Structure 1
Amino acid sequence: MRLLEGKTLLVTGASAGIGRAAAIGAAAAGASVAINYSRDDAGAEACVAEIERAGGKAIAVKGDVSLPETAGEFVARAVEAFGKVDVMVNNAGICPFHAFLDMPVETLERTMRVNLHGAYFMVQAAARQMVAQGHGGSIIAVSSISALVGGEYQTHYTPTKAGVHSLMQSTAIALGKHGIRCNSLLPGTILTDINKDDLADPEKREYMEGRVPLGRLGQPEDMVGPIVFLASDMAAYVTGAALLVDGGMFVNLQ
């Protein structure tokens, strides 16, 4: 089903991981796709090439999401290429694991700037374009199960993910009158570059897998269906919501 036929979808942090899977999956669902990335030129080029080989349309725009001007440029380049913005998927994020008591100031501030400030700038730029177009849109923020639970080595990260979810709740109210829907996705442990070092320990990985009722850790492709759904007209009456995509990890207390 090409649920996104005729739509233009933007996704940040898309040279790898969830963002890459979202871009390729959205293109397969019919969308024209603009991807943002910060450093990995080869990864971004490979993502665009895969979309184009399958007959889709895509562009890559390099930029640091922590800088407010990056958001405006990303949206402008997407409009230049495809004429409009229908969907923004705010996915870019970092999580340099570190203990709390000796957390470097620069690590805290960089995580806040990328994960939370970057989300704010991207969502605001996309919303401005959607309002100017006058036909609504969908904004999806990739938050995390970490918005709901703590992490010993994530005291700088979990507040940003709670903030991203809160941003979607507030923007759902602010933008509803413009027909713009704002929702959060809360993935559990998805195997990406963010956690590959942490999960390189076999005992840690086995423990994490044991916490998941479905019996496995997530893959980036597990996020595609929920993203396509929230981006599509099937979710026309869904806004301000949060969807857990975690294999049941959150509810598995005992």
Structure 2
Amino acid sequence: MTKLLEGKTVLVTGASAGIGRAAAIGAARHGADVAINFARDTDGADSAVAEIEALGQRGLAVQGDVADPETAKHFIARAVEEFGKIDVFVNNAGICPFHAFLDMPVETFERTMRVNLHGAYFMVQAAANQMVKQGHGGAIIAVSSISALVGGEYQTHYTPTKAGLHSLMQSTAIALGRHGIRCNSVLPGTILTDINKEDLADEAKRAYMAGRVPLGRLGQPDDLEGPIVFLASDLAKYVTGASLLVDGGAFVNLQ
């Protein structure tokens, strides 16, 4: 297999499970050393690092809550200390505590904003500063969502954060292009992860959701591996400010 990220160092937030874990292991499979951020799941983080190392690459897990701006500085510093550089940054960490709009608790709204959007802003800023300092460009990928483009009754706090990530990548593509740093986003559809496990526990709802997808199934975390690796690699050397739907065709299905 051609290793598209050979010799690169990749950082991924929220990578103890789900899409982040798949992206981290996919990067290692393509020849990258990988540092992951995680919030609480120590066992998941340890096993992700073990998988990275089993692929012959160096792995590092750094614990921290992305809602705290200091976490970004610490994560970047530890990765540089361990690996010497950053080539690719994948902002994946996010939460979606489903809740109705009219009685949305202030703390639920604010926590979602701090993790999904504020956390992403400071993580991307810290990674970009390190890339500028290094002077050899880089790639930043944000895991946004189809929810950046469509609404959700129980996601009125979540969808604005994903639209914000999409917009952040467009603006940072302009701000960082002169430094050779490419900024893009992936927009997953419904992916079977811990974030929606409870919401999709109802088999009827799960079947309904799958039935809306032209490819006939809901997504798995590793469905994001290829798109993220592509955007991180030199195959995408002239791609910046772009967004890539990874949704099985759900967005275009109006039926």
- TM-score normalised per structure 1: 0.99
2:252 aligns with 251
Partner of 1:29: 30
Alignment of 1:86-235 (within 5 A): 86-235=87-236
Letter in 1 for 2:157: H
Counterparts of 1:52 and 1:27, CA distance in 2: 8
How many residues of Structure 1 are paired with residues of Structure 2 in the alignment? 254
Deviation string 1:92-135 (CA, Å, 9 cap, x unpaired) is 00000000000000000000000000000000000000000000
1:6 aligns with 2:11: no
Q: For 2:120 and 2:44, how far apart are their aligned partners in 1?
A: 22
Q: Which residue of 2 aligns with 1:19?
A: 20
- Structure 1: distance between partners of 2:125 and 2:76: 10
Cα deviation for residue 53 of structure 1 reads 1.7
Structure 2 unaligned residues grouped into runs of 5+? none
CA distance in 1 between partners of 2:192 and 2:3 (Å): 27
Shift of residue 56 of structure 1? 1.4
Looking at structure 1, the residues matched to 178 and 26 of structure 2 have their Cα atoms a distance apart, in angstroms, of 29
Amino acid at match of 2:95: I
Percentage of pairs with the same residue? 81
Deviations 1:198-217 (A, max 9, x none): 00001110110001000000
Query: Which residue does the alignment assign to 1:44?
Result: 45
Alpha-carbon distance in 1 for matches of 2:68, 2:37: 13
How far the C-alpha of 1:232 sits from its partner, in A, is 0.3
- Whole-angstrom distance in 1 between the partners of 2:184 and 2:36: 19
CA root-mean-square deviation: 0.4
| Helix, strand or coil at the partner of 1:194 | helix
Question: Residue deviations 1:25-58, cap 9 Å, x none?
Answer: 0000000000000000000000001111221110
> Per-residue displacement from partner, 1:66-97 (whole Å, max 9, x unpaired)?
11110011011110111100000000000000
User: 1: distance between equivalents of 2:144 and 2:251?
Assistant: 14
Paired amino acid for 1:43? G
